[in-house]
A and B are shown apart, each in its own frame.
Chain A
Amino acid sequence: MAELLVKNACVIDPLQGIEGDIMDIAIRDGRIVESVRNGAEVIDAQGFLTMPGGIDSHTHICGTKVNFGRYMSPEDMRAGRTVKRGKMHATSGYSVPTTYGNSYRYSVMGYTTVLEGAMAPLEARHTHEEFSATPLQDTMANTLFDGNWPVMEAVKEGDLKRVAAIVAWILEAVKGFAIKLTNPGGTEAWGWGKNVECIRDTVPYFGVTPAEIILSLVKANEMLRLPHSVHLHCNRLGIPGNYSCTIGTFDLIPDLNRNRQSLYATHVQFHSYGGSSWPDINSKAEPVAYAVNRKPQIVIDMGQMMFGKTTTMTADGPMEFNLYRLYHNKWSNHDVELETTSGIIPVLYRRKNLVNCVMWSIGLELALLVKNPWQCLLSTDNPNGAPFVKYPEIIALLMSRPYREKEFATLHPHTGSRVLLPSIDRELDWNEIAVMTRAGQSRALGIDRIGKGHLRAGAEADIAIYPLRIGDTDPSREYEKVIGAFRKTMWTIKRGRVVARDGEILVEGKNATIWVRPTVPEPYRMEQDPDFVRNFERYYTVRMSNYPVQHHYIPRNICIETEAVL
């Protein structure tokens, strides 16, 4: 029986409503318990800030496109190297680190659970192989359904039950966690080098609209009673004037679930642009935030952009090609039969570039204008807006108006006429930051019920202790101190074990993969559906029997079983 007692912790745990109480946390065999025996190992947290382990609800760290980002970018690999030391493997990479690089850097920042934002079902095995090499976080994968042929056919027939049944079969087969839609319909159109404009456009050949795909899957998601909602990357990413498409998409979504949102819209910074072309781009964070404020059924994440070099990678293939035509750097694309696509290009976000400055402002504006922090979570769409190692700076920007002003003064001189940021006084507090970096993610993903994102008895003992006393810190003035503290925990505890101490990784670790298994009634089992099977064997290039990911690939896993109501 492994027991640990964290004493004198200054705990912020929004899911339990704890806002800075000094308390002890008892841990036995990887879980939080009421008490432990005398003689348990003791960590004295000395009143330092203690929170549940961080959760990233949208990041790109594992799988085909992420690895291709590394593969095509030796220059990025050279920009972030560390040597083999102690329990740590050698790592490479700055914006797309190797799996161990990701895992160590997240762990040092106190993150213990991460969600890979986009997994093509056909290539799921790859994602799971990389998860196994990401040992210090629990992992889960959004599964792409944006251009799925059988799903689009069922949507066209208006057969919601069939949509749900197909999703159920694929999620279980690929050991996925949630439904992801990336530029729904647009990824199929990209198979012909085309795209869709917005939600009312029609997908070539299939004759369905993005709106129909989105709404069908939002409903199917609830029929399957999945822990997370549909996770949407809206159409029209990164195009001036796209905010109206974003708001139009939000307007589609009914409120279907009492416990959480019905739609998670990701990296909304990239979807909140006004203007009609790059020269007149401006911020439309206000109407987008206003729409979110009126709709409890929507949760968004920021997709904050930070200045510097990074690599963009998304299942939105046509968007990446457009970006390539702006940057003329290098471009990779990878279309996946019957399912989706992806694209990658390296970028440099510059303070001298007005568009980049507007993007930077919009992300922060969204977080400051959405009233309820549970509805706007902190992210950079790692590494698209910036590598996740920039999170501490984003936290400080949200907590400090002076820091924002100092940064704003360095931007392109015309930025002020395009954005709202200078007029916003709000400074987020510690509790709001805790919501935006763990508790909100836990609730939005529906993993609070499996003990993630809080420190209630029975929860997973994933804990981050930061070298900062909230009582003696004024984050508005002392933003540098805030940045330093969130960069490096004193202790990161994963499953009841100290895995990182003052920036050093102490254990090899082993991840657990969280996945869902929705059970559907007998007539809806797709493996017995003659049409589904026939088309699968005819149009995929792998046999249906070779498609499902074997349990071998998820040696340690947490399966969330649901009973579908069809």
Chain B
Amino acid sequence: MRLVFNTGRTIRQGNSVESKLSQEYEREVSTARLHPLDMLELGLENGDRLLIDAGRASIVVRAEESEEVEPGTLFLPLGPYANHLISEETHCTGMPDYKSIEVEAEWTDRPQVKITDLQKSLGGVPLDLS
């Protein structure tokens, strides 16, 4: 299904921003909000996994319904999952297109990657101090 992808801050993302290695942060920034009608059309229950394909990249996230988002749109909080889909093109402004990206979304049984896996895929070496 074609959806317009959008990202931004949320209070939960903000709360856990000081502890980005936490479960809460990972859960918040990997949870996409969709309108209940779109959830229905995609055959999604709250907590199901959703594959978002932006053409240049795709990612699996959790889906959750929300009356806040309009039908035909999808909201994913600011964070590494959203970044995975965003192009580095800034149109000479310094600012990438963080909002209003056309994506294809569908139910999936593929596993959701962890933040640390995303980091590793980009060449990072996460530390574990716990």
Let me know if chains A and B touch directly in the complex, using CB atoms closer than 8 Å. no
Binding site for A on B (CB under 8 A): none
